[in-house]
């Protein structure tokens, strides 16, 4: 059946607006919207019907009446009027069978969305469409009845059309993968809601004093309610890295809540020095996103003065949190027995422990695996190193580090491809003679 015959069958049975008719042929032709398709098809049908009517073929007037009523087509109505053919008023349909005329109000829906978006800073968005099940089923049945094979669904079209409108009115862009704002529109109910995606900021923190836990630690007696034991604070410790850092972030972004994610954690009595530990702050429902991170960094460092210091602040996303968590869960402990070229002194062992704890190791792909792995530089974190002397030229080293660290190369230095390394720090050629994995630390 050709397009025109099929359309006539549809319109004889159901009233359809230009959008809903054109949508049944959405995959045909590029660069035009469904209402243009629908309008073009109705136009051709009207011209053909007009020709038939002029040649006194009864089918002509009948088709014009169908177009004037179920097709909502003004030109057909006009032709009938000039031919003095009357359209029985009871045949005039009220609304489009499929969309209930909601494509007529996309401008209003877009404006409603803009009104909601007004109080937030954002640069991109995505439109999500919510349709009643009955409306979707009605369209499915319609498609089956007319064997529609080049169609698109109503959800898609509403999403695209409203998205274009919002983009046009706001100057913002549509983002499919990681939108900052999701505009949830229910066109049938004429409702618009916002889903404000979190703002993620990554950085590194250093903890300059001992005695502060990384995260908020509730009182084990009252679980936060406040009791005599915790001096009515509800907490075991008055402050934490998390709480110290969060406040300036929340103030700057105007969010309702912040969550702190870090790659592993140090003990309460350990300082976190060096380049610091990677973290991500997730701010829920932020009002502001266009933050000056340099200024924010200063604000945090003033607020946390002497206790915690942040650096390298940058905008991040959910994936960075996932990576952080993954790295965290793969924490490992190793034991390696090392043989040295020259005799070692006790102070050498302490030096090793100091230089290899809470640091980031840079490793180029080891020479021994280079033939099957890409040549990359990886950064792996070592949380802790402990060294014990076994013989004048032999020692045992325990390392707790991020998964994926090449431990043998940490010992040898791999001709300068891993830095720092045991050989480099002691200027004493070292080689691993026994390596054991002691523990894989999984954090829920
Ligand atoms: Zn419609
Ligand atoms: Zn308590």
In a domain, 138, yes or no: yes
Identify whether the C-beta of residue 16 lies closer than 8 Å to the C-beta of residue 70.
Answer: yes
Q: Per the omega criterion (within 30 degrees of 0), is the bond before 420 cis?
A: yes
Angstrom distances, CA of residue 73 to CA of 34, 89, 92 = 16, 15, 11
In a domain, 402, yes or no: yes
**What's the average model confidence in pLDDT over 17-36?**
96
Residues 322 and 341 in one domain: no
**What's the average model confidence in pLDDT over 300-306?**
92
Q: What is the dihedral of CA 393, 396, 402, 406, to 10 degrees?
A: 40
In a domain, 97, yes or no: no
Phi then psi for 307, rounded to 5 degrees?
A: -105, -55
Q: Which ligand is nearest to the CA of 34?
A: 1
| pLDDT recorded at residue 326 | 72
**Residues 255-289 pLDDT 10s:** 999 999 987 766 676 667 767 788 999 999 999 99
Angstrom distances, CA of residue 344 to CA of 70, 150, 413, 431 = 95, 78, 18, 13
Ligand 1 midpoint to CA 30 (Å):
20
Check residue 153 and report its DSSP letter: -
Place of tokens 């398709």: 37
| pLDDT recorded at residue 276 | 74
SS3 call for 202? strand
Ligand 1 midpoint to CA 226 (Å):
60
Identify any residues that bridge with 310 across adjacent strands, giving them in sequence order: 205
Residues 373 and 409 in one domain: yes
Residues 357 and 295 in one domain: no
Residues 315 and 337 in one domain: no
Ligand 2 midpoint to CA 257 (Å):
23
What is the value of pTM for the model shown?
A: 0.70
- Separation between Cα atoms, residue 282 and residue 259, nearest integer Å: 5
**Residues 171-215 pLDDT 10s:** 999 999 999 999 999 999 999 999 999 999 999 888 888 788 988
Indicate which residue of 57, 267, 319, 436 is catalytic.
267
For 167-183, letters b (16+ CB in 10 Å) and e give beebebeeeeeebbbeb
Place of tokens 């080293």: 397
267 a catalytic residue: yes
**pLDDT over 90 (residue 250):** yes
Residues 207 and 320 in one domain: yes
Residues 305 and 396 in one domain: no
In a domain, 319, yes or no: yes
In a domain, 96, yes or no: no
**Residues 359-399 pLDDT 10s:** 999 999 999 888 878 899 999 999 999 999 999 999 999 99
**Residues 75-130 pLDDT 10s:** 999 999 999 888 777 667 689 999 999 999 999 999 999 999 999 999 999 999 99
Using alpha carbons, select from 357, 381, 131 the residue that is nearest to residue 262.
Answer: 381
| pLDDT recorded at residue 240 | 93
- Separation between Cα atoms, residue 429 and residue 438, nearest integer Å: 25
Residues 303 and 380 in one domain: no
Q: Which ligand is nearest to the CA of 101?
A: 1
Residues 158 and 170 in one domain: yes
Residues 430 and 366 in one domain: yes
The fraction of the chain above a pLDDT of 90, given in percent, is 75
The last residue of a domain, from among 68, 91, 114: 91
Residues 230 and 169 in one domain: no
Q: Which ligand is nearest to the CA of 72?
A: 1
Q: What is the CATH number of the domain that holds 203?
A: 3.30.70.2510
What is the spatial order of strands in the sheet that 124-129 belongs to? 173-174, 124-129, 181-186, 191-196
Q: 435 falls in which pLDDT band (50, 70, 90)? A: confident
Residue 153 belongs to what domain range? 102-196
| pLDDT recorded at residue 26 | 95
The last residue of a domain, from among 153, 177, 196: 196
Ligand 2 midpoint to CA 223 (Å):
6
- Separation between Cα atoms, residue 40 and residue 189, nearest integer Å: 29
**pLDDT over 80 (residue 68):** yes
Residues 81 and 112 in one domain: no
Q: What is the CATH number of the domain that holds 342?
A: 3.30.70.3190
Total number of domains in the chain: 4
Give one DSSP letter per residue of 264-285, joined into a string. Answer: S---TTS-EEEEEEEEEEEEES
Identify whether the C-beta of residue 10 lies closer than 8 Å to the C-beta of residue 24.
Answer: yes
Q: What is the CATH number of the domain that holds 178?
A: 3.30.2130.30
Residues 358 and 304 in one domain: no
In a domain, 74, yes or no: yes
Q: What region does 265 belong to: left with phi over 0, alpha with psi -120 to 50, or beta?
A: beta
Using alpha carbons, select from 81, 308, 125 the residue that is nearest to residue 205.
Answer: 308
Which are the contacts of 178, defined by CB distance < 8 A and separation ≥ 6?
197, 317, 318
Ligand 2 midpoint to CA 218 (Å):
8
The last residue of a domain, from among 196, 215, 235: 196
The fraction of the chain above a pLDDT of 70, given in percent, is 95
- Separation between Cα atoms, residue 83 and residue 141, nearest integer Å: 37
Ligand 2 midpoint to CA 212 (Å):
17
Q: Which ligand is nearest to the CA of 217?
A: 2
Ligand 1 midpoint to CA 33 (Å):
13
Using alpha carbons, select from 196, 203, 201, 202 the residue that is nearest to residue 286.
Answer: 196
H or E segment and range at residue 78: helix 74-82
Higher pLDDT, 264 or 43: 43
In a domain, 180, yes or no: yes
């Amino acid at each position: 059946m050709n397009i025109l015959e099929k359309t006539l069958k549809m319109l004889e049975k159901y009233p359809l607006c230009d959008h809903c008719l054109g949508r049944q042929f959405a995959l045909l032709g590029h660069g035009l919207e469904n209402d243009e398709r629908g309008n073009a098809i109705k136009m051709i049908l009207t011209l053909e019907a007009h020709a038939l009517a002029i040649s006194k073929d009864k089918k002509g007037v009948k088709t014009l009446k169908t177009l004037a009523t179920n097709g909502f087509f003004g030109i057909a109505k006009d032709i009938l009027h000039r031919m003095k053919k009357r359209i029985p008023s009871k045949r005039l349909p009220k609304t489009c069978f499929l969309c209930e005329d909601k494509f007529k109000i996309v401008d209003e829906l877009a404006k409603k969305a803009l009104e909601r978006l007004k109080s937030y800073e954002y640069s991109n968005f995505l439109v999500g469409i919510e349709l009643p099940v009955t409306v979707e089923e009605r369209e499915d049945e319609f498609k089956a009845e007319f064997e529609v094979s080049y169609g698109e669904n109503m959800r898609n079209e509403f999403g695209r059309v409203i998205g274009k409108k919002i983009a046009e009115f706001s100057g913002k862009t549509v983002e499919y993968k990681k939108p900052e704002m999701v505009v949830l529109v229910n066109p049938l109910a004429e409702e618009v809601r916002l889903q404000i995606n979190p703002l993620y900021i990554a950085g590194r923190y250093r903890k300059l004093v001992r005695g502060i836990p990384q995260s908020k630690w509730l009182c084990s007696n009252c679980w936060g309610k406040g009791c005599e034991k915790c001096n009515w604070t509800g907490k075991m410790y008055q402050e934490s890295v998390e709480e110290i850092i969060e406040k300036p972030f929340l103030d700057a972004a105007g969010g309702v809540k912040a969550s702190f994610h870090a790659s592993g954690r140090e003990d309460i009595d350990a300082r976190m020095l060096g380049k610091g530990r990677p973290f991500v702050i997730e701010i829920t429902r932020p009002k502001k996103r266009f933050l000056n991170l340099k200024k924010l960094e200063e604000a945090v460092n003033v607020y946390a003065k002497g206790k915690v210091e942040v650096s390298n602040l940058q905008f991040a996303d959910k994936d960075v949190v996932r990576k952080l968590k993954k790295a965290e869960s793969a924490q490992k402990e190793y034991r390696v027995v090392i043989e040295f070229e020259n005799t070692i002194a006790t102070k050498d062992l302490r030096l090793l422990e100091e230089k290899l704890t809470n640091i980031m190791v840079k490793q180029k792909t080891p020479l021994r695996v280079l033939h099957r792995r890409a040549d990359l530089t990886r950064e792996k974190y070592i949380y802790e190193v402990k060294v014990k002397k076994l013989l004048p030229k032999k020692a045992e080293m325990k390392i707790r580090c991020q998964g994926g660290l090449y431990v043998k190369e940490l010992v040898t230095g791999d001709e300068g491809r891993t830095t720092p390394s045991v050989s480099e720090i002691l200027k004493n050629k070292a080689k691993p003679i026994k390596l054991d994995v002691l523990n894989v630390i999984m954090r829920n």
